[in-house]
Chains A and B, each alone.
Chain A
Amino acid sequence: TAGITQAPTSQILAAGRSMTLRCTQDMRHNAMYWYRQDLGLGLRLIHYSNTAGTTGKGEVPDGYSVSRANTDDFPLTLASAVPSQTSVYFCASRRDRGNDGELFFGEGSRLTVL
């Protein structure tokens, strides 16, 4: 089972350019999340979506936007990248059955903004 697929795996981006990180899941989970991982800070929530058609802001939403047109896809867009957005980005989904909050993660997208 694929689970969550993220693309690209790695990307170098010039400051000021835009970039979309793709996330697709095949588990039909309603809730999806974007986190960024930085050394010493753990994972911080950027945006989330509880179901298709709805999104919400997490702890560090500035400079990022998301959309949720359907259940499977949850892209993250950086409209004008800055060096402080250099990070590893993880997409995750939450299993609906049992409703216990367990998250399933993709392999991550490493973004470097120069």
Chain B
Amino acid sequence: AQSVTQLDSQVPVFEEAPVELRCNYSSSVSVYLFWYVQYPNQGLQLLLKYLSGSTLVKGINGFEAEFNKSQTSFHLRKPSVHISDTAEYFCAVTPNTGGFKTIFGAGTRLFVKA
């Protein structure tokens, strides 16, 4: 079984400041890792994903995440946020063998202040 823990339910930050949204996971099998973003009253859309290879992955809108296997973490970062980054961010894992049932974390609400 898999589980995902997003360590912060809300992250307030000023515009142009850096931000890190933390995600830890547990799994008995190898997984793919994802970050999805949800803007108000919309569905989720993919921000970035880690499948294999380089542990630093870059996504849309200037976000990046680093996979750390020893710490079972996949933290999301952005060096300078904009007001438009205000949204809910979900970390997710999917077993990479069979089933592909994706498990989501509880979400982190990023609130960017002017």
Contacts and interface: CB of A to CB of B under 8 A. Distances in A.
A86 to B, nearest CB: 17
Given A45-B101, A94-B100, A100 B106 contact: no
Contacts of A48: 101
A108 B100 contact: no
B54 interface: no
A58 B43 contact: no
Contacts of A106: 43
Interface residues of B, number: 26
A100 B101 contact: no
Interface in A42-57: 42-45, 48, 50
A103 B101 contact: no
Interface of B: 4, 6, 9, 32, 34, 36, 41-46, 49, 51, 90, 94, 96, 99-107
B34 A102 contact: yes
Nearest to A106: B43
Nearest to A3: B43
Contacts of B4: 42
Nearest to A107: B43
A105 interface: yes
Given A42-B90, A107-B42, A107-B43, A101 B104 contact: no
Nearest to B94: A101
Nearest to B45: A105
Given A100-B51, A101-B94, A102-B46, A40 B103 contact: no
Contacts of A81: none
